[in-house]
Chains A and B, each alone.
Chain A
C-alpha cells in the first residue's frame, strides 16, 4: 500500500508542480476578469473611489510636464549663451545668496584690461568678445523708449551671442577701434520709432547722444512674457568714451567644440588666477559661467517646487489608497458568500488573496490611466497658456505609482478575505 502510494505520489507531485506554475497564470487571469467585471458592475462607486488617485496622478504628471516644459524653455531661451560659450564675469551666477554676498565684497569686476589680457593670452579659442550692460532711455524725434537694454559689445559678439542680423550689418572692427557713434537695434525699437520707414542710417538719441543705426536684429520673442527685442547695441569703445569709463564686463569665450570647452575653461581660470595673484588654496575671484551653471541654478529652483509636489501627491495617493482599502473591505463583506463558494471549490488562500489584490490593483491602475488621460489634456492647455511638455517618464511613474498604491492598500482587505472560514463564509447570506 505504502509503496503504491509512494510511486503514485512522486509522479503526482511532479505533475502538480508543473500545474502549479501554469496554475498561477490561470488563476491570475481569472482574478483579472473578476476585477474588470467588478469595475463594470459598480461604475459610479469605482469612479468615486478612484477620484483621489486620479487627482494625484493628474497633479503629478501635470506638474512634471510644466517643470519639464520650463526646463526646455530655460535651456532654449535663458541658458542659451551660444554654442560652446562660457562667460567670465565678476560672479559665479548660480550660487546661493550668501556666496554671492561674499563674492561681491571680494571679487573685482572683470575690466577691459582683463579682456585684452585674455584675448592675447588664451590659446585656441574660436571667438572672444566682451560686453557691458545698462539701461538707457532712447529717443527718436518726439518718441521715447525708457530703460532700454543697452549692451556695449565688441564686434565679435554678433558671432557669439543670440542676436542675428535682419537688415544692415553689425558694427565693424574699425568702428570699434574708433569708438564710432553707431548702433544696432532690436525689433521693439524699430516698431516704435520706424513702423513704416527703413530704420537704417537714421539717427537716434541714446542717453542724449546721437547714434546712427547701421543694422537691425531679427526678432527674438519673449521669455516669461518679457520682450527680448528691447535692446540696442553700441561698440564697447564708444561706451567707454561716453557713458562709463570703467564698467564691469562679461567676457564671452567660444570654444571650437564641446570637448574643448572644459580644457578652455581651465586655461582661462588658470590665466585669470595668475593675473589676479590668487593663492593656491583660495577660491577664484571671478566667475566662469557656462550654460550648465544656469541650468544648475534653475534645476535647484525646480527641485524645491518638485519636492512640494511630491509631498502633495503623496498625501493624495495615501488618501486615495485608504479610500480604495475602505471600498475593498466593503467588497469583501459584500462577497463573503462568493468567497465561501470559491473556497468550497478549492480556492486556496492565495487564490482569494490574489483575486482581491488584483481587483484593487486593476482598479487603481484604471484610476491611474484616467489620471494620465486627464493630465494629457491639462498639459495641452498648460502648454497653450504657459509651457508644458509631458515626459514619458511622468506617465510611467504616474501609472506605476497609482497601481502600486492600489496593490498595497488592497493587501489588508484581501488578507481578510483570504483567511475567511469557508463554512462561515458559505453560511453568510447576501
Chain B
C-alpha cells in the first residue's frame, strides 16, 4: 500500500516544489442530498508553504468544515487536485488516505476526541500503534510528547480525570507524536473558557515557532488573529486571502 502511495507521487510530474506543503487546484465538493445537489466547495485554489500558520475562517455553512475534511484527508474532492507534501492525495483510496492521515497530519478537534477508556499515554500512543511502532519506542515517544505539553505527570490519567485544557493538550500531544508535516486544528478552543483557550493558543504559537505548519479552522476573529495568514471562505469560495504578519 505504501508503495502505491509512492508510485502515484513518482508519476506525478506536476507536483509542486518542495517548499509548498499544500496545493489545492480547483477543489469542488458536491453532496448529493436526494433531489438537490449541494455545492459545498466551488473551486478552491490555494498554496500553503512549509512553516506557515494559516487560519481558515468563515461563518457556518461556508464550506470551511468541508475544506478542513479535504485538507485533512478525511474525504476526497468531487473534482480538483490536492497535493500534500508533494504527493497527489486527491485520488487515493480509503486505506491510502488513512496512511497519509497517520503519517502527515496531526488533528486537534474542538471536542478533543480522546478515547474515554484509555489513559492519556495510550491516547497519545494511538497514531504510533497504527504505523506499527514497537511498544517501547511508542511509550518513549508518547511520554516525550506529553512532557512537551507539560502533562508528564498526568500520563496515566483518563480523560474524565483531566480538565478541558488538559484534555486538549493531550490531543495536541497526540497530534504531534508522529512528527506530522501538518497540524490541523478545528476550533481547538471552542469548548474551552477564554483563559484556557489562550493557553492552548499560546501552545500553538510555540509549536509554530518550533517549525510546525499549522492550519487552524475557526470562526472567531481573535483566534484567527493569532495566525499569520487568514483565508476567508464564503459560499464555498475563497472570499479573501490576507497576510496579517
A residues adjacent to B (C-beta < 8 A)? 1-2, 5-6, 9-10, 12-13, 16-17, 19-20, 22-24, 26-27, 29-30, 37, 41, 337-338, 340-351, 422-423, 426
Contact = CB atoms under 8 A, between A and B. Distances in A.
B113 A344 contact: yes
A6 B130 contact: no
Nearest to B15: A1
A338 B118 CA distance: 11
**Which residue, of B6, B17, B86, has the highest number of chain A Cβ atoms within 10 A?**
B6
B107 to A, nearest CB: 5
Interface string B126-141: 1101111111000000
Interface of B: 1-3, 6-7, 9-10, 13, 15, 17-18, 69, 72, 74-75, 86, 94-95, 98-99, 101-103, 107, 109, 113-115, 117, 126-127, 129-135, 174
Q: Which 7 A-B pairs have the closest CB atoms?
A: A346-B102, A23-B132, A9-B6, A16-B2, A13-B3, A346-B130, A19-B132
A344 B133 contact: no
B2 A23 contact: no
Contacts of B72: 344
Contact of A348 (B9, B95, B134): B95
A1 B18 CA distance: 8
**Which residue, of A12, A344, A346, has the highest number of chain B Cβ atoms within 10 A?**
A346
B127 A346 contact: yes
B132 A26 contact: yes
**Which residue, of B13, B18, B113, has the highest number of chain A Cβ atoms within 10 A?**
B113
B126 A5 contact: no
A345 B174 contact: yes
Contacts of B132: 19-20, 22-24, 26-27
A26 B101 contact: no
Contacts of A10: 6
**Which residue, of A20, A23, A344, has the highest number of chain B Cβ atoms within 10 A?**
A344
A391 B133 CA distance: 43
Nearest to A341: B113
Contact of A26 (B94, B115, B133): B133
B10 A2 contact: yes
A27 B129 contact: yes
Nearest to A22: B132
Contacts of A19: 131-132
A341 B69 CA distance: 13
Nearest to B69: A423
Contacts of A349: 94-95, 98
Contacts of A2: 10, 13, 15
A2 B7 CA distance: 11
Contacts of B102: 345-346
B159 to A, nearest CB: 11
26 contacts: A2-B10, A2-B15, A5-B10, A5-B15, A9-B7, A12-B2, A16-B2, A19-B131, A19-B132, A23-B132, A26-B133, A26-B135, A341-B114, A341-B115, A342-B130, A343-B98, A344-B101, A344-B107, A344-B113, A345-B101, A346-B103, A346-B127, A422-B74, A423-B75, A426-B74, A426-B113
Contact of A344 (B74, B94, B117): B74
Contacts of A350: 95
Contact of A346 (B69, B75, B114, B131): B131
Contacts of B98: 343, 346-349
A347 B6 contact: no
A425 B10 CA distance: 33
